[in-house]
């Protein structure tokens, strides 16, 4: 049985299987019913490992043990496997979330917070910086930083960046608005982003700016800036820099304020419907 490595790699990612599991599973699918020895030969997996692998696949819902001698295994239809895996993943994720929720208000979390507070007190302000690689990690840190804002959030971004931020961070913006946090966003306003800008309503003040700059300032103290053009880099290779620097963040916000006064509100430049 010849199965392309690329196909096996996709299956491993989608179904969270190791290499031996995905080889045995595809071999079983190709036979429908088979013994561990036969599957070992077909999949080129050591026979000593095939029984453990099949036991694992059975527990995960990919196979069923057939009654009788010799022991044979029956492949579960892929559609059923998909539903089982989805259900198992959801139950596992819900369980993990529940365990994390149970940490709130416990001594464990208090001790972790104490460790962090003591550690921060020993760190030089200049050391509170980091590189964020990949847009997924970048936006996770961006959300965390913005969520803790107490006074202001200032964002300069591109058209595509504006759409991503409104669609991904709108619930966070709404919570900040209720807390009285001032949110300002400057970006090129085009027909492409008109819908998301209107959906944002009065949660944040959006103005039109002909700029490709990409940065976010929170409370005039924390700064996250992206070093690449989001139109020319793949999301996995996007890079951002996070710095906790009130001196520089405050200075940059001052420059933003000067530019902000001359920018038109988004509603004045939105394409007419």
Query: Tell me, what's the pLDDT at 111?
Result: 80
Q: In what order do the strands lie in the sheet with 239-244?
A: 129-133, 239-244, 222-226, 215-218, 152-156, 182-187, 205-208, 264-265
Q: Taking all residues of the chain, what is their mean pLDDT, rounded to a whole number?
A: 88
Q: Token match 């139109």: residue?
A: 231
DSSP string, 7-48: HHHHHHHHHT--HHHHHHHHHHHHHSEEEHHHHHHHHT--HH
Class of domain 5-88: mainly alpha
Domain with CATH 3.30.870.10 in the chain: 119-269
How does pLDDT run across 80-95, given as a tens digit for each residue? 899 988 988 898 899 9
Kindly give the residue spans of alpha helices, DSSP state H, lying in the chain: 5-15, 19-31, 36-43, 47-60, 78-101, 107-121, 135-147, 159-178, 194-200, 246-260, 266-269
How does pLDDT run across 16-29, given as a tens digit for each residue? 999 999 999 999 99
Q: Residue 106: CB partners within 8 Å, gap ≥ 6? A: none
In CATH terms, is domain 119-269 a member of 3.30.870.10?
A: yes
Domain with CATH 1.10.10.10 in the chain: 5-88
């Amino acid at each position: 049985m010849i199965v392309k490595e690329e196909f096996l790699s996709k299956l491993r990612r989608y179904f969270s299987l190791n290499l031996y599991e995905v080889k045995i599973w595809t071999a079983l699918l190709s036979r429908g019913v088979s013994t561990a020895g036969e599957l070992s030969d077909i999949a080129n997996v050591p026979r000593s490992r095939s029984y453990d692998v099949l036991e694992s696949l059975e527990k995960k819902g990919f196979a069923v043990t057939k009654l009788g001698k010799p022991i044979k295994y029956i492949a579960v239809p892929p559609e059923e496997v998909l539903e089982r895996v989805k259900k198992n993943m959801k139950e596992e994720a819900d369980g993990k979330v529940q365990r994390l929720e149970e940490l709130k208000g416990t001594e464990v979390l208090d001790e972790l917070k104490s460790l962090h507070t003591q550690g921060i007190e020993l760190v030089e302000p200049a050391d509170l910086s980091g590189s964020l690689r990949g847009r997924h990690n970048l936006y996770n840190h961006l959300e965390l930083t913005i969520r803790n804002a107490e006074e202001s959030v200032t964002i300069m971004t591109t058209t595509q960046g504006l759409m991503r931020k409104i669609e991904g961070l709108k619930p966070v913006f709404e919570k900040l608005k209720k807390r009285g946090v001032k949110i300002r966003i400057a970006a090129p306003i085009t027909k492409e982003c008109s819908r998301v800008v209107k959906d944002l309503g009065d949660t944040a003040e959006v103005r039109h700016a002909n700029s490709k700059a990409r940065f976010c300032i929170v409370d005039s103290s924390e700064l996250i800036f992206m070093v690449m053009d989001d139109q020319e880099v793949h999301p996995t290779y996007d890079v951002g820099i996070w710095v906790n620097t009130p001196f520089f963040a405050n200075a940059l916000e001052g420059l933003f304020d000067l530019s902000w006064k001359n920018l038109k509100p988004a509603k004045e430049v939105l394409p007419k419907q």
